[in-house]
């Protein structure tokens, strides 16, 4: 995997806490692809999405979140879909003006909105201060964007409630693997 060049998963796993169930089946000595396969086989989807969010580089991780949440586009409001579109635009051409615009546009969204978490990932990307504009610069904690990406992907799987979450996790994992191999993540129906 070109975008996840680690021999083992110790470093990635040091960025977040696995669930107790995942700790029983995942070892830091596993290569990242093996961690992904084990978590997928055990249907530990929240851990799987969290692992991928932390394993991919920042922009690729946020790009994945935009693709994953777009799968629920029909269930989202116009404002939520705009945040996802703006976040995808930011990934393609990061700039401070758009990052700050996204910050404003996510404020009225509920915390249960997957789109809010995508926008939060952009805001927490480390590409600018997270303090109000008139305040001194405050940079986000390392991998804060990845926590928001995991929140976006996992929230989109669950809310609004639906019966398609198992297929959703399969699709978004395939997207992430494509991105990890240097692809765009935009897969044909056959690849999903």
Give the span between the Cα atoms of 109 and 119, in whole angstroms.
10
Nearest partner of 40 among 27, 58, 54, 26, judged by Cα? 26
Per-residue pLDDT reduced to its tens digit, 143-192? 999 999 999 999 999 999 999 999 999 999 999 999 999 999 987 655 55
Query: So what's the pLDDT on residue 188?
Result: 67
Stated pTM of the model: 0.95
Per-residue pLDDT reduced to its tens digit, 25-46? 999 999 999 999 999 999 999 9
Query: So what's the pLDDT on residue 1?
Result: 86
Per-residue pLDDT reduced to its tens digit, 54-71? 999 999 999 999 999 999
Give the span between the Cα atoms of 78 and 115, in whole angstroms.
11
Nearest partner of 35 among 65, 69, 6, judged by Cα? 6
Per-residue pLDDT reduced to its tens digit, 95-151? 999 999 999 999 999 999 999 999 999 999 999 999 999 999 999 999 999 999 999
Is the pLDDT reported for residue 87 higher than 70? yes
Nearest partner of 51 among 22, 12, 82, judged by Cα? 12
Give the span between the Cα atoms of 16 and 145, in whole angstroms.
12
Query: So what's the pLDDT on residue 189?
Result: 58
Query: So what's the pLDDT on residue 187?
Result: 78
Give the span between the Cα atoms of 114 and 94, in whole angstroms.
21
Beta carbons of 63 and 183 less than 8 angstroms apart: no
């Amino acid at each position: 995997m070109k975008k996840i060049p680690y021999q083992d998963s110790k470093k990635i796993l040091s960025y977040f806490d696995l669930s107790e169930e995942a700790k029983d089946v995942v070892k830091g000595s596993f290569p990242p692809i093996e961690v992904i396969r084990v978590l997928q086989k055990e249907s530990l989807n929240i851990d799987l999405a969290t692992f991928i969010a932390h394993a991919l580089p920042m922009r690729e991780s946020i790009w994945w979140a935009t693709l994953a949440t777009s799968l629920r586009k029909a269930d989202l409001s116009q404002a939520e879909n705009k945040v996802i579109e703006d976040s995808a635009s930011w990934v393609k051409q990061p700039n401070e003006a758009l990052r700050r615009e996204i910050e404003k546009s996510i404020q009225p969204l509920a915390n249960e909105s997957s789109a809010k978490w995508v926008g939060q990932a952009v805001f927490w990307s480390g590409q600018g201060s997270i303090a109000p504009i008139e305040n001194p610069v405050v940079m986000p904690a390392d991998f804060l964007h990845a926590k928001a990406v995991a929140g976006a992907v996992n929230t989109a799987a669950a809310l609004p409630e639906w019966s398609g979450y198992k297929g959703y996790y399969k699709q978004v994992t395939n997207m992430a693997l494509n991105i990890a191999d240097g692809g765009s993540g935009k897969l044909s129906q056959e690849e999903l």
